[in-house]
Structure 1
Amino acid sequence: MTENDPTDEISDIEDRIERLAEIAERCRKYILASKIAIGGGAALLLITILGVFGFGQTAALGSIALVLGGIVSLGSNVSTLRQTDDAISAAEARRAALIGSIDLRVVADAPLKLV
């Protein structure tokens, strides 16, 4: 292997892509949990306001906190997911460019022998 051989860099980029994919998947899970928290908090607030189960002020404050926390978590994780997706795209483009720069040789097909 020569000093300018891009295979090591390609391997490093593939490792980075795998790590970024794990981060993106974790963000997707947090986004789902945030949406559930927002929906659950909103439902609890509505139930509390309507007085269906007789929950008190603590439940109302807790539901508001749940909705606000869900919104903050959702926004943060959506932003992180976008940045991670952009980083994955850039890494994949760099990997494709490195692969394209490799001087590949064509291996001729050997004739098939039928038995």
Structure 2
Amino acid sequence: MTDDDPADEISAIEARIEALAEIAERCRKFILASKAAIAGGVALLLFAVLGLFGVGQIAALGSIALVLGGIVSLGSNLSTLRQTDAAISDAEALRSDLIGGIDLRLVHDTPTKLM
């Protein structure tokens, strides 16, 4: 093994951590949209049940579909976010172990050349 192997592996792990962080951020956005869809669906269903603003049966069915779709999307993205966060933690621990395993020398310990 050469001295560059740990550095290359650390770089690859850091790239993976960045990719996982992007996935986690995308999941957070979908979670927020799912919560908004659930809230909107509940509000529309409430309007349909109470007969406000002339909302009909089609709106009631649409609101039920919106609530159910929001719940499914929320659950899926929460699960993905948890898995992604666990993968990020594992990758950070591996990166830390690799960095800790490198035999680093202090600058004053390096041999000097005289010209």
CA shift at 1:45, angstroms?
A: 0.2
Identity over the aligned pairs, expressed in percent? 77
Matched, 1:12 2:12: yes
Q: Which runs of 4+ in 1 moved over 2 A?
A: none
CA distance in 2, matches of 1:63, 1:75: 18
Residue 47 of structure 2 aligns with an amino acid whose one-letter code is I
Q: Which has the higher helix share?
A: 2
Residue 83 of structure 2 aligns with an amino acid whose one-letter code is Q
CA distance in 2, matches of 1:28, 1:18: 15
The superposition leaves residues 2-22 of structure 1 with CA deviations (integer Å, 9 ceiling, x where unpaired) of 168311110000000000000
Look up the SS of the partner of 1:6 in the other structure: helix
Aligned to 1:111: none
Aligned length: 108
Matched, 1:21 2:21: yes
CA shift at 1:106, angstroms?
A: 1.0
Aligned CA-pair RMSD: 1.4
The superposition leaves residues 32-60 of structure 1 with CA deviations (integer Å, 9 ceiling, x where unpaired) of 00000000000000011001111110000
Residue segments in structure 2 that go unaligned for 5+ positions in a row: 109-115
Aligned to 2:40: 40
Residue segments in structure 1 that go unaligned for 5+ positions in a row: 109-115
Q: What does 1:1-115 align with in structure 2 at a 5 Å threshold? A: 2=2, 5-108=5-108
CA distance in 1, matches of 2:102, 2:55: 68
CA distance in 2, matches of 1:48, 1:32: 24
CA distance in 2, matches of 1:52, 1:100: 65
Aligned to 1:112: none
CA distance in 2, matches of 1:24, 1:88: 9
Superposition TM-score, scaled by structure 1 size = 0.90
